[in-house]
Amino acid sequence: MTRGAHNPAVSVTEVHATLAPIDNDQIASQGLTTAEARERFDAGLDNAVPFDTSRSFWRILQSNLLTLFNAVVGGSFALLLVLGYWQDALFGFFIIANVLIGVVQEFRAKLTLDKLALVNTPLARVLRGGHIVELAPGAVVMDDAMLLRAGDQLCADAVVITANNLEVDESLLTGESEPIRAAVGKEVLSGSSVVGGEAVVRVIRVGADSYASTLTAEARKFSMVHSEIRAGLDRVILWISWALLPIGAIVVNGQMQAAGGWPVAIASGAWRDAAVAAIASIISMVPQGLVFITSVAFAVGAVKLARRNVLVQELAAVEVLARVDVVCLDKTGTLTESELILDSAESVGAAPEEVWGSVLRWFGHERNANATAAALVPRFNDFSRVHDERSIPFSSTRKWGAVGFAHHAAAGTWVLGAPDVLVASGVAATEEIVEKIDELAASGLRTLVLAHSALYLTKQLAEAEELPSGLSAVAIITFREKTRPDAARTLAFFAEQGVQLRVLSGDNPRTVASIAREVGLEVTGAAFDARRLPDDIDELAAILEKHHIFGRVSSAQKKNIVIALQRAGHVVAMTGDGVNDALALKQADIGIAMGSGAATTRAVARLVLLDGQFSTLPQVVAEGRQVIANVERLSKLFLTKTVYAILIAIVFGLALWTFPFLPRQLSAVDGLTIGLPALLLALLPNPKRYEAGFLRRAARICIPFGLTIGMAVVAISIVARVHGGYSVLDIQGASVITLTLVGLWVLVVLARPLDLVRLALVIAMYVSFIVVFALPLLSDFFLLSLPPGQLFMASLIVGAIGCVAIELVHQIHQRPRARGATN
């Protein structure tokens, strides 16, 4: 047997309470002695599972720190600090802030998730040295004898030793909501819950070898959510990184030559200023602000969702929400509340309802009543115990239970059970009753029949678990799963938004279809039986286009269905709460778990609905759309800068001209034309629905915008050189004026429509631009001064021409969209 690393944090003596001595010597002998338990614990045969509910702090830090962007920008930042030019290293703020935002947000999500897992950790009740003791689940060892009662959850795999009508719910593992009967010798699996009866079971698999741990082994592997924005930015930075090699060489050589040539620059120390200029050129090509603003937008979205009790485990998950076009729903726990409710109880015999109603009260209040019988209590709740009854407990194997009363208004024998079984056992029912039963069963309702015989249930019949003769149907009782009150409204929202739905359940296809109809989905007949689904993904995809409601879906099939939908070009969200949903949630583009679901499911999900409110999803999707729409708008600002920075770097490098900006001056321009506006624009409402291909759309406008701005900066440098006699500071001042004027007009264009907030933002940036030159404290820090008269006027004229060119480019870009809108 393969075991994980031994966990010293869990002690075999971690006993929370000694409950009671065991009176039954035979049962007591099934348990281990304290010495035997210690021996197994020391051998590593304990139930400690080496499983983190979420990513570790170091992995979170690694994913946010070790990126190509940080390598490029961080290297330049470090070099400036080494050279002593800290004023020109302001861009390093973006690295620190970007890493901090990502780490803090994702670590907070981790802490919340870990608390959820801790709250839902059950205690285990085992036999030790003739006593019943309660242990932390990790302190259970191989061969322990566990006592199970209704409401308990198994923490390890076991085999039943003794049982009294034990019924186990494996819905978290299989998706099948119908409890199963667990007789002596049957295996019961970790993660399942006891819903009826009691038993003593012997542990046969612990820790990482247990069924639940094995099922979730693949789910525990970490993977990043696929973000189109992040992938697009990574591609841009990768392209820039490769371009930096030849362009960087051109820039460095150009700056050294402009400083008098390599020998002179090195000998005179001018190489330091040349290095600063080269770094300014290189840094301006990297859209470091876009990475930062994207993180801000994601983080703000995550905080807003947290106020709605939605836990975002990875920031980029907010973006993926905007792209989802198919939502796969698990029925149990998502559309329904995992609770049976009484649908109807209808008389079909001669006995009056007050008589058979008192019998249903008995079944509902019986000590080992299962979930179905317990659903009778809300309606049949006025109960007083009758002392002369004799009963045969309900069994999921027999599918019936019985009770006999000797001296009671309901004297005789009463049987409650599955209609087909009782009719086959000789219970009298008219053809009309049989047809009614078949009709109800076909509708997906869980149907039971109450039958009565005047003959008393003798001791011999009870011990043999046999029914008396003369039974006839008295009442038909139907049950249904309780649907979430918000499910229909939420599904209607997705339909209006053009988001397709797939219901995937491990339950009976008829039951699934009934629930689907109840929440407003269109379905004819029964749901598609997943046992007929092909293994071939392409064939599966074809079926998924025709059928949307599925029953008897296994855990592996849920994952294959997600894969098939993805191969068909869909962006898939998967919701669920059970362990059987974990692999599908991990495979989906975005997994959404219910806060009340299994710890494993919450761990692999990108979003967790902490309060389990399905109705939160429309707000979640709306938030995702706002984030991605705003980030796309902002990307056009930042990528425009990348385009003009590359053009300027190449031109000035090849021309052997001194680069017309210091890094600190570019930081000032970026703050006015991009950075500060972006912080506000990222937070404004934006209901635009996302369409794939954001990088392609951005390139269509960023390239002409960037070329226009780059040519304006080159033009003002040419003017300065043609007239001659201007210092480097003069040319830098004129270049900053030209670049800022044209850059602000790009902001005007992309901020449209200019409502009051956006107009105020633009005006504030123009005023701030004047303040930077007018306020000595700022102008001295950024080494900025107004150039001489002619050069100053030239910078204004070139800037104005650049603004006109930007407006023309924008109008040309808008025309195809306008024509498309009128067609």
Q: Which residues are catalytic?
A: 330
Residue 806, C-beta contacts closer than 8 angstroms, at least 6 positions apart: 705, 708, 709, 742, 745, 746, 749
**Dihedral sign, Cα of residue 547, residue 548, residue 549, residue 555:** positive
Q: Give, rounded to a whole angstrom, the gap between the first and last alpha carbons of the chain.
A: 68
| 56, amino acid identity | S
Angle at 223 between CA 217 and CA 225, to 5 degrees: 135
CB 195 within 8 A of CB 178: no
What is d(CA 550, CA 539) in angstroms, rounded to the nearest whole number?
16
What is d(CA 724, CA 586) in angstroms, rounded to the nearest whole number?
64
Name the DSSP letter for residue 428. Answer: B
Conformational region of residue 143, where left means phi above 0, alpha means psi within -120 to 50, and beta covers everything else? left
Question: How would DSSP label each residue in 695-715?
Answer: HHHHHHHHHHHHHHHHHHHHH
306 burial (CB, 10 Å; 0-12 / 13-18 / 19+) is: middle
Q: Three-class SS string for 389-416? A: EEEEEEECCCCEEEEEECCCCCCEEEEE
What is d(CA 685, CA 623) in angstroms, rounded to the nearest whole number?
9
What is d(CA 85, CA 557) in angstroms, rounded to the nearest whole number?
60
What is d(CA 656, CA 664) in angstroms, rounded to the nearest whole number?
22
What is d(CA 150, CA 169) in angstroms, rounded to the nearest whole number?
10
Q: Which two tokens stand for residue 456?
A: 């008393």
Q: What are phi and psi of 21, to 5 degrees?
A: -75, 160
What is d(CA 672, CA 772) in angstroms, rounded to the nearest whole number?
10
List the strands of the sheet with 528-529, edge to edge: 310-312, 607-609, 590-594, 572-576, 326-330, 500-504, 549-551, 528-529
Question: How would DSSP label each residue in 189-237?
Answer: -TT-EEEEEEEEEEEEE-GGGSHHHHHTTTTTS------HHHHHHHHHH
Q: Three-class SS string for 633-671? A: HHHHHHHHHHHHHHHHHHHHHHCCCCCCCCHHHHHHHHH
CB 529 within 8 A of CB 551: yes
Task: Tell which residue, 328, 308, 320, 334, has the closest CA to residue 606.
Answer: 320
What is d(CA 734, CA 237) in angstroms, rounded to the nearest whole number?
29
**Dihedral sign, Cα of residue 451, residue 454, residue 455, residue 458:** positive
What is d(CA 785, CA 112) in angstroms, rounded to the nearest whole number?
52
Question: How would DSSP label each residue in 116-183?
Answer: HHHHTPPPEEEEETTEEEEE-GGG-BTT-EEEEETT-B-SSEEEEEEEEEEEEE-HHHH---S-EE--
Q: At what angle do helices 617-654 and 228-258 cross, to 10 degrees?
A: 20
Q: At what angle do helices 617-654 and 271-285 cross, to 10 degrees?
A: 140
Q: Three-class SS string for 751-795? A: CCCCCHHHHHHHHHHHHHHHHHHHCHHHHHHCCCCCCCHHHHHHH
Could you tell me the CA-to-CA distances from 406 to 363, 369, 387, 400 in Å, in that order?
Answer: 17, 22, 10, 20
